[in-house]
Amino acid sequence: MKSKFNYLIISLLLIFFISSCEKTDEIKPGDKNSVFIEFDNRLGAEEIVLGTTKGTNSTSEDFTITRLNYFISNIKLMSATGETVSFPDQYSLVKESDTNSQVIELKDVPAGDYNHLMYTIGVDSIHSVSDVSLRTGVLDPAGYGDDNMYWSWNMGYIFFKMEGNSSKVNVNGSTKYELHIGGFGGKDAPTPNNIRNLELHMNQTATVRRDIAPDVHVIFDVAKVFDGTKKVSLVANPVIHNPKLGIDISENYAEAFMIDHVHLD
Amino acid sequence: MLRKYLIYVPVFTVLLVSCTETSAVPETELIQDKPLFYQPDNFPMPVYDMSKNPVTEAGFELGKKIFYDGKLSRDGTISCAECHAQSYAFTHHGHTLSHGIDNRIGTRNAPPIQNTAFMRSFFWDGGVFDLDLFPIAPITNPVEMDEELGNVLKKLRADPAYTARFKEAYGSEEITTERFLKALSQFMNALISDNSKYDKYIRKETGGEMSADELEGLALFKQKCSSCHQEPLFSDEKFHNNGLDISFRDIDYGRYNITGERQDRYTFKTPSLRNIAFTAPYMHDGRFNTLEDVLNHYQNDMSYSLNLDPVFFYGDNKRGIEMTDDEKSKIILFLKTLSDKEFITDKRFAAPN
């Protein structure tokens, strides 16, 4: 009898908890919050320290990383039921040297349960050919200082830039390698296209509520730049400033992003 | 086509009206009784969207000041005019390859700056298709000006003479990438060369009287050269391999560097022939010093290389352009009628005092 009473109390408590959970789950029209996408560049499992972290690719070439930048654009979130929220005008330049650049805030995301993240690595063709008046923020070619992300001679942005040193590389006595990947497909004539669109599935749901702004933690594994679907050798092409030579690399890095976890804050 | 034309009618009306309204034109400008930008009767419509950046007096003057300013280069020594001098139709006279900062040598011959508003692409390989974004290339090229664009803007912001000019041109002192680049475009778009003897002949104006030999040269030119050097701009704006010996210098793949397509190897953009008599030396690498050398190449020195343009095959598997020495000299006589002396002496385009 006493145990039956206990069960009743537990059940009541459970109902209370569940219903209280449902209360915060309730979505009122117009509810919205931010979603933060955090890009965490790694070498395998290791955090990257620029100039220090050392890796070796499958062709036994050692390498360090001194620069690592890439453009993220056209971000979309999709819920399990297929509702999509797009951020077409938000262009971000993620730089390993700048912690602030590694977190992208998507503002005013309607409350919902999102489990797909889509984005482009690079700058879409429309913005690659747009009038200079629209090239502001991270798209301003005057904004890069000595870490240039714009090709003036073959008009377009450098979508992905990775530089470092390898003891196996020898370019006129220098051990420096430079992988500059760009090419949006051309305006008047077709040219190589290294725009890569990704769709990543989240194992946890990014729940957006009036009081919940989730943090989606994306890991980019630099090791896969060399060892993905394609095997990339630094000795074969230590300096890539050419859209066509960059195709293997862009195919590789398109497969190098994964969602590690989602925080619900 | 008609619809396209009609769209421009109001634009040009506005331009013409606004130009006649500028009463504060300095005296030197009044020497030339023409607006800074206009549509030559014998030219196609502009490629550049003039409505988004019309040439204004203040914008043109600002663009000219920038064009002639060494501040664009790392050490202040190299201005655009270094390789683009007006007296040689805005080319680098006497230099096969252009020289830049620290006397470093470029890989190509500086082309003239003229009729930019009517051109679809820029550079020998057509790598730039928007005039506004063109100047970033020479500014940042390590063998030309070797400077960062952001640094150039910083230098101009620190100079009161510039902030004042930007205010005149744009209504406020703010110096942005867009304003800087569009001022340069205004200056370049005003560099219209349409007053050669040939132009006057086509437009049936005085000064357009051609000699019998020149007219014969024109007829020969139409037969033998104009498939690529199409009138009235004397370029089809396409890319061709014209049989230059590729072992002459370090290999330059030309258009292939942009497209990565095998068939584009060793192809270069057809240059305009306007003002050709002022712009020696010739070809993308300046390998020929005279027009005679150029025509000798086409007559009998053409080498076979991958992608040689099929237009150069004739007769029994011969390469080049079939012509006699007499025909060659008449073609050269005609080419000299493409010289526009008014353009290279127009005071409005000269370095500001």
How far apart are the C-alpha atoms of A242 and B256, rounded to whole Å? 10
Query: What pLDDT score was predicted for residue A25?
Result: 64
The CA-atom distances, in angstroms, between B290 and each of A72, B197, B222, B286, B294 are 51, 21, 21, 10, 7
By mean pLDDT, which of A45-59, A237-251, B100-114, B259-273 is the weakest? B100-114
How far apart are the C-alpha atoms of B146 and B106, rounded to whole Å? 12
> Is pLDDT of A15 > 70?
no
How far apart are the C-alpha atoms of B103 and A2, rounded to whole Å? 98
Per-residue pLDDT tens for B21-32? 344 444 444 445
> Is pLDDT of B197 > 90?
yes
The CA-atom distances, in angstroms, between B79 and each of B65, B72, B76 are 10, 6, 8
> Is pLDDT of A122 > 60?
yes
Phi, psi (deg, nearest 5) at residue A163: -135, 155
Phi, psi (deg, nearest 5) at residue B282: -115, 165
How far apart are the C-alpha atoms of A188 and B126, rounded to whole Å? 10
Helix residue ranges per DSSP H, B56-208: 57-67, 136-140, 149-157, 160-170, 177-189, 197-202
Query: What pLDDT score was predicted for residue B263?
Result: 93
Query: What pLDDT score was predicted for residue B280?
Result: 95
In the Cβ-directed half-sphere of A144, how many Cα atoms lie within 13 Å? 27
Contacts of residue A169, defined as CB under 8 A and 6 or more positions apart, other chains included, come to A61, A175, A176, A177, A234, A235, A238
How far apart are the C-alpha atoms of B326 and B323, rounded to whole Å? 8
Q: What's at A43, amino acid-wise?
A: L
Q: Please name the residue of chain B whose CA is at the shortest distance from the CA of residue A190.
A: B259
CA A43 to chain centre: 15
How far apart are the C-alpha atoms of B202 and B194, rounded to whole Å? 11
Query: What pLDDT score was predicted for residue A17?
Result: 53
Query: What pLDDT score was predicted for residue B305?
Result: 77
Per-residue pLDDT tens for A81-96? 999 999 999 999 999 9
CATH topology of domain B197-337: Cytochrome Bc1 Complex; Chain D, domain 2 (1.10.760)
Mean pLDDT throughout A212-241?
A: 96
Q: How confident is the model at residue B3 (pLDDT cuts 50, 70, 90)?
A: very low
> Is pLDDT of B245 > 70?
yes
> Is pLDDT of B19 > 50?
no
Q: Helices B291-300 and B325-336: crossing angle, nearest 10°?
A: 140
> Is pLDDT of B20 > 50?
no
Q: Please name the residue of chain B whose CA is at the shortest distance from the CA of residue A191.
A: B259
Query: What pLDDT score was predicted for residue A16?
Result: 53
Q: Please name the residue of chain A whose CA is at the shortest distance from the CA of residue B146.
A: A146
Domain locations in chain A as residue ranges: 33-264
Q: What is the mean pLDDT of chain A?
A: 92
Q: % helix / strand / coil in chain B, to the nearest 5?
A: 45, 5, 50
Do A65 and A96 touch, CB atoms closer than 8 A?
yes
* CA distance between the termini of chain A: 43
Task: Specify the residue for token string 């205004």.
Answer: B186
How far apart are the C-alpha atoms of A154 and A152, rounded to whole Å? 6
Pairs across A and B, CB distance < 8 A: 78
Q: Please name the residue of chain A whose CA is at the shortest distance from the CA of residue B258.
A: A154
How far apart are the C-alpha atoms of B348 and B341, rounded to whole Å? 14
| Residues of A in Cβ contact (< 8 Å) with B181 | 132
B265 compared with B101, residue with greater pLDDT: B265
Contacts of residue A263, defined as CB under 8 A and 6 or more positions apart, other chains included, come to A214, A215, A217
Per-residue pLDDT tens for B89-107? 999 988 888 788 888 888 8
Do A43 and A222 touch, CB atoms closer than 8 A?
yes
The CA-atom distances, in angstroms, between B330 and each of A228, A243, B197, B224 are 62, 45, 15, 12
Q: How confident is the model at residue B66 (pLDDT cuts 50, 70, 90)?
A: very high
CA angle B305, B308, B314 (to 5 degrees): 115
How far apart are the C-alpha atoms of B119 and B236, rounded to whole Å? 10
**Contact criterion met (CB < 8 Å) for B177 and A146:** no
Mean pLDDT throughout B141-164?
A: 96
Could you tell me where in chain B the CATH 1.10.760.10 domains are found? 2-193, 197-337
Phi, psi (deg, nearest 5) at residue A67: -140, 145
Q: How confident is the model at residue B15 (pLDDT cuts 50, 70, 90)?
A: very low
Query: What pLDDT score was predicted for residue B7?
Result: 44
Q: Mutation test of the interface with chain B: which of A127, A133, A157, A180, choosing the one with the most B Cβ atoms within 10 A?
A: A133
**Contact criterion met (CB < 8 Å) for B132 and A131:** yes
Query: What pLDDT score was predicted for residue B324?
Result: 96
How far apart are the C-alpha atoms of A165 and A195, rounded to whole Å? 26
- For domain B2-193, is the CATH number 1.10.150.120? no
Please count the other Cβ atoms lying within 10 Å of the Cβ belonging to residue B259.
26
| Residues of A in Cβ contact (< 8 Å) with B122 | none
Alpha-carbon torsion B75, A131, A240, A200, what sign?
positive
Q: How confident is the model at residue B301 (pLDDT cuts 50, 70, 90)?
A: confident
Task: Find, among B220, B249, B238, the residue nearest to B326 by Cα.
Answer: B220
> Is pLDDT of A223 > 90?
yes
Mean pLDDT throughout A176-185?
A: 96
**Contact criterion met (CB < 8 Å) for B149 and A142:** yes
Q: Please name the residue of chain A whose CA is at the shortest distance from the CA of residue B176.
A: A142
Q: What is the mean pLDDT of chain B?
A: 90
How far apart are the C-alpha atoms of A142 and B213, rounded to whole Å? 52
Task: Specify the residue for token string 């070797």.
Answer: B146
What pTM did the predictor assign? 0.88
Please count the other Cβ atoms lying within 10 Å of the Cβ belonging to residue B194.
24
Do A199 and A226 touch, CB atoms closer than 8 A?
no
Strand partners, A75: A87
B149/A contact by beta carbon, under 8 A:
yes
> Is pLDDT of B170 > 90?
yes
Mean pLDDT throughout A57-75?
A: 97
Task: Find, among B54, B29, B78, the residue nearest to B189 by Cα.
Answer: B54
Mean pLDDT throughout B199-216?
A: 97
Please count the other Cβ atoms lying within 10 Å of the Cβ belonging to residue B126.
26
ipTM of the complex: 0.85
Binding-face residues of A in 167-186 toward B, CB within 8 A: 186
Query: What pLDDT score was predicted for residue B10?
Result: 43
Smallest Cβ–Cβ distance between A132 and the set B128, B132, B153 belongs to B132
B174/A contact by beta carbon, under 8 A:
no
Smallest Cβ–Cβ distance between B129 and the set A143, A146, A188 belongs to A188
Query: What pLDDT score was predicted for residue B302?
Result: 87
Q: Nearest CA of chain B to the CA of A29: how many Å?
A: 41
How far apart are the C-alpha atoms of A227 and A243, rounded to whole Å? 19
The CA-atom distances, in angstroms, between A35 and each of A101, A204, B198 are 15, 14, 65
Task: Find, among B72, B70, B71, B60, the residue nearest to B168 by Cα.
Answer: B60
**Contact criterion met (CB < 8 Å) for B258 and A154:** yes
* Letter string b/e over residues A69-89, b meaning 16 or more CB atoms within 10 A of that residue's CB: bbbbbbbbbbbeeeeebebee
A155/B contact by beta carbon, under 8 A:
yes
CA B223 to chain centre: 25
> Is pLDDT of B16 > 60?
no
Region for B138 from its dihedrals, namely left if φ exceeds 0, alpha if ψ lies in -120 to 50, beta otherwise:
alpha
**Contact criterion met (CB < 8 Å) for A155 and B148:** no
Mean pLDDT throughout A119-142?
A: 95
